[in-house]
Amino acid sequence: MSFPLDLDLETLRRRRSEKWVSYPADVLPLFVAESDVAPAPPIAELLSAAVANGDFGYSADADGLRDVVSQYYTRFGVEAAPGDVMPVYDVGVGVRAVLREFLTPGAKVVHHVPVYMPFPAWIRRSGHEPVGVPFAEDGSINLPAIEREFESGARAILLCHPHNPSGRIHPQSELAELASLADSYGAIVVSDEIWAPMALPGHEFRSFLAASNTARKVGFAISSASKTWNLAGLKCAWVVTGNRAQYTLPPYLAGACGHLGSLAARTALTEGEPWREELIAALGENVDLLGRLLEEHLPEARWTRPESTYVAWVDLRAYPALGDNPAKRFLSEAKVALSPGAAFGEGGAGFVRINFACNPELLTAAVERIGEVARGAV
């Protein structure tokens, strides 16, 4: 197996995070978006020293994090000043803060479906109305459907870029068109870019803010080191504002970051690149492995290789006996936990999301198990 996806099942089951305590020990968990990795050495050393020193106080690292993020985002095509960056507790908090600050209460906010499960809840918690629109038939951003919602009063779109659950990186041409459309209606675009550093081999990610001057005028990019370096529990993210002259977030948001999260994120972005490159290479191998496993054990399944993320969106509607919720059958009969497609909204019935950021042996065993259930489904 490839480093850093080389942790065995016995080691992983000692973890107390959601992925490893949600189901009994006989279940293989490939659902929630945690990766089965040991921490990058620079981050492990930082956190070990903090524990030894009892360094658990309030964060005073906002300025340092701003500097690092502004430099890091240049790799995604964005020239941002430190003042364009606002540290926040997590991506969801960043999304809600932007919507609350810059939209009229009760305004409609568009999002695509299917999409990352919390999007509608984030929009509602910010005091706004979520409106789901499907992707175009070719999987592209559905500009006509979005324009219809703008015409009826929507004044924002919450974009998932790269897209979860499909792993698609939206092309810059589509993003530029979306920016122009939003600008013409006085709307903003809030781009959840939490998977930004995770473009898989052969692909490149560029931020929504890099799509055009208009994208910078109407856009926000919200990201974190949490998915790439597996730091979700440490709670640190950031908002990059494309148009600070018009859209300035309140400074109190920076104080909500976790101290260890902020230090770990800064270390990830400055010292974690060699480890990230190894992870991306290992994930590329797992994508190849998953393709072979699906072809062998679920030959009627349909999927598009993800361009980013470590999740795969698999269409099992060619196995009608599995019903609209194959994940439920797989959990009860195969003892494999996957994310049910319906949880991602309209268009998700009959799909599952597979987290392939795991030991290849675990991935192999899981697909073999669910393939056996699919073959025997009646």
Overall domain count for the chain: 2
Q: Which domain covers residue 59, as residue numbers? A: 48-271
Claim to verify: residue 161 and residue 217 sit in the same structural domain: yes
Domain boundary among 271, 292, 312: 271
Question: Does 2 fall in a domain?
Answer: no
Asked whether the predicted pLDDT for residue 378 surpasses 80, the reply is no
For residue 2, pLDDT beyond 80: no
Instruction: Compute φ and ψ for 334, nearest 5 degrees.
Output: -105, -10
Q: Do residues 343 and 241 both lie within one domain?
A: no
Q: Within a domain: residue 338? A: yes
pLDDT band at 254 (very low <50, low <70, confident <90, very high): confident
Global pTM reads: 0.97
Task: Say whether both 326 and 229 belong to one domain.
Answer: no
pLDDT at residue 256 is higher than 90? no
Please answer whether residues 199 and 206 qualify as being in contact, where contact means their C-beta atoms are separated by less than 8 angstroms.
no
Beta bridge partners of 134: 113
Q: Are residues 74 and 108 in the same domain?
A: yes
Residue type, 177: E
Whether 3 has a pLDDT exceeding 90, the answer reads no
Q: What does the angle CA 307 – CA 312 – CA 313 come to, to the nearest 5 degrees?
A: 110
- Claim to verify: residue 121 and residue 254 sit in the same structural domain: yes
Give the CA distances from residue 355 to residues 29, 340, 362, in Å, rounded to whole numbers and listed in that order.
Answer: 9, 12, 11
pLDDT in tens, 164-213: 999 999 999 999 999 999 999 999 999 999 999 999 999 999 999 999 99
Q: Cβ of 122: how many Cβ atoms within 10 Å?
A: 23
Mean pLDDT of 230-250: 95
For the chain, percent of residues with pLDDT exceeding 90: 97
For the cut 70, the answer to whether the pLDDT of residue 1 exceeds it is: no
Residue 4: inside a domain = no
Residue 115 domain flag: yes
Select from 216, 248, 271 the last residue of a domain: 271
Calpha distance 330→337 (Å, rounded): 7
Taking CA atoms, 58 is separated from 46, 233, 339, in Å, by 16, 16, 35
Residue 180 located in a structural domain:
yes
Q: Taking 80 as the threshold, does the pLDDT of residue 325 lie above it?
A: yes
Distances (CA, A) of 278 to 158, 179, 327: 31, 34, 30
CATH number assigned to the domain comprising residue 186 = 3.40.640.10
Rounded to an integer, the average pLDDT of 127-154 is 97
- Note whether 251 and 105 are same-domain residues: yes
**pLDDT tens for each residue of 5-42:** 999 999 999 999 999 999 999 999 999 999 999 999 99
In the prediction, which pLDDT does 190 show?
Answer: 98
CA distance 258 to 60: 10
Torsion, CA 178, CA 248, CA 226, CA 207, rounded to 10: 30
Say if residue 337's pLDDT is above 60: yes
* Stretch 130-151: mean pLDDT: 97
Q: Based on the domain organization, do 34 and 64 belong to the same domain?
A: no
Tell me, what CATH number does 302's domain have?
3.90.1150.10
- Single residue among 242, 271, 300 that ends a domain in this structure: 271
pLDDT digits 0-9 by tens, 61-86: 999 999 999 999 999 999 999 999 99
User: Which pLDDT tens digit goes with each residue over 271-316?
Assistant: 999 999 999 999 999 999 999 999 999 999 999 999 999 999 999 9
**Percent of the chain whose predicted confidence (pLDDT) is above 70:** 99
Structure tokens at 229: 């370096």
Statement to judge: residues 254 and 316 lie in one domain: no
Same domain for 352 and 206? no
Confidence of residue 377 (pLDDT cuts 50, 70, 90): confident
